[in-house]
């Protein structure tokens, strides 16, 4: 057999095909026969999935839990470990903190005002030949606009949800401790839950036809700490994951509502406890211990 012959029957359709891979060869986006996208975000050198989404393109979702920041600083391959350009940057306006995380080991303290800027467009990835040869026979990537995107780039005229866990001194109020503006309009955050010193805040915004989108964060209370920040389309569903940056063990899985299931291990790496975060607090749902009998 010299090749593969496609069936010419128009009644046959492709049930699912991959539209994007990352630099490590991991599938990060696919599309089914109904034109519905599923996507994934990878962290830790693009080796571990940190978020998955249904009914959303990969560039339409954003998630940050800050747990792979130190891991990526040790990465020598810039194509693999460059962070999303649309992200909370460390510096005078914010810093990474330990010992005060909602999930995982790290969170982000907002100290001032910062802008998260990205592009808004409706381009989609299509099948094609993305490599070419130079006169020496070496391969290089063709320049195709929006093929190698820098991360979060939403579609125009689309409704989005912003979900984030917040920690500060005033837990009983609906004040998130910061102002967030999109297109110069302040977002109205609602408190969804208060659990173990953390508040889950949620707001909505809609993109327009401007090519640039800037999300501005400004601190209003001292000691404001953010964790598990999500931005995704209103009609999408999203789950996210947190890992230990030293052992690579799964520490937490956050569901569609951004509530966490926590996993605890003993010194040997055996899972001993599973806890679930709810509106009524964190509850232990499974616990086990094991040991070897001495001869």
Is residue 101 classed as helix, strand or coil in its secondary structure?
A: coil
| pLDDT at residue 31, as a whole number | 92
Among 9-13, 169-173, 207-211, 224-228, which stretch is predicted with the lowest mean pLDDT?
A: 9-13
Instruction: Report whether pLDDT(256) > 70.
Output: yes
pLDDT at 80: 57
Q: What pLDDT score was predicted for residue 3?
A: 43
Q: What pTM, to 2 d.p., does this model score?
A: 0.87
Helices (H), the chain: 69-73, 78-81
Radius of gyration, CA atoms only, the chain: 21
Q: Give the residue-averaged pLDDT of 17-33.
A: 86
Q: What is the pLDDT of residue 144?
A: 64
Structure tokens belonging to residue 193? 């839950």
Contact 94, 108 (CB under 8 A): yes
Does residue 4 have a pLDDT over 50? Answer: no
Angle at CA of residue 16, ends 13 and 21, nearest 5° = 140
State how beta strands 106-110 and 224-233 pair: antiparallel
Stronger pLDDT, 5 or 61, i.e. the higher one: 61
Evaluate whether 292 touches 270 at the Cβ level (below 8 Å): no
Q: In whole angstroms, give the CA distance from residue 241 to residue 216.
A: 25
> Which CATH architecture fits 37-248?
Sandwich (2.60)
- List of long-range contacts for 74-82, beta carbons under 8 Å, 24+ apart: 75/45, 77/23, 77/45, 79/23, 80/23, 80/24, 80/45, 80/46, 81/45, 81/46
Mean pLDDT throughout 101-124?
A: 92
Q: Give bridge partners of residue 38 from the DSSP assignment.
A: 30, 54
Answer yes or no: is pLDDT of 78 > 80: no
pLDDT score, position 9: 67
Token couple for 28: 């990060």
What average pLDDT does range 156-166 have in this prediction? Answer: 96
- What is the arithmetic mean of pLDDT over 199-221? 94
Confidence check: pLDDT of 229 > 50: yes
Angle formed at CA 53 by CA 255 and CA 249, multiple of 5 degrees: 55
The residue assigned the tokens 């991959």 is 18
Given this model, what pLDDT does residue 244 score?
Answer: 95
Q: How far apart are the C-alpha atoms of 278 and 281, rounded to whole Å?
A: 5
228 with 251: CB under 8 angstroms?
no
Q: What is the mean pLDDT of residues 100-111?
A: 95
């Amino acid at each position: 057999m010299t090749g593969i012959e496609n069936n010419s029957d128009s009644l046959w359709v492709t049930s699912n095909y991959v539209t994007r891979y990352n630099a490590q060869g991991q599938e990060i986006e696919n599309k089914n026969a109904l034109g519905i996208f599923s996507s994934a975000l990878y962290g830790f050198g693009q080796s571990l999935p940190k978020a998955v989404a249904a009914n959303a393109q990969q560039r339409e979702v954003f998630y940050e839990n800050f747990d792979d920041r130190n891991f990526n600083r040790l990465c020598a391959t810039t194509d693999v470990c460059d962070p999303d350009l649309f992200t909370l940057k460390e510096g005078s306006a914010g810093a990474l903190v330990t010992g005060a995380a909602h999930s995982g080991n790290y969170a982000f303290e907002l100290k001032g005002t910062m802008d998260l800027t990205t592009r808004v467009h409706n381009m989609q990835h299509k099948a094609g030949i993305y490599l070419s040869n130079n006169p020496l026979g070496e391969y290089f990537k063709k320049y195709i606009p929006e093929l190698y995107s820098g991360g979060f780039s939403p579609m125009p005229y689309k409704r989005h949800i912003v979900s984030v866990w917040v920690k500060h001194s005033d837990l009983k109020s609906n004040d998130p401790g910061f102002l967030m503006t999109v297109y110069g309009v302040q977002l109205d955050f609602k408190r969804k839950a208060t659990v173990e010193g953390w508040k889950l805040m949620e707001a909505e915004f809609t993109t327009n036809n401007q090519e640039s989108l800037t999300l501005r964060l400004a601190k209003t209370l001292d000691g404001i700490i953010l964790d598990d920040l999500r931005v995704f389309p209103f009609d999408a569903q999203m789950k996210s994951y947190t890992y230990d940056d030293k052992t690579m063990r799964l520490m937490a899985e956050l569901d569609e509502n951004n509530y966490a299931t926590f996993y605890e291990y003993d010194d040997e790496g055996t899972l001993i406890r599973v806890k679930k975060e709810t509106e009524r607090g964190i509850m232990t749902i499974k616990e086990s211990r094991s040991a070897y009998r001495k001869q």
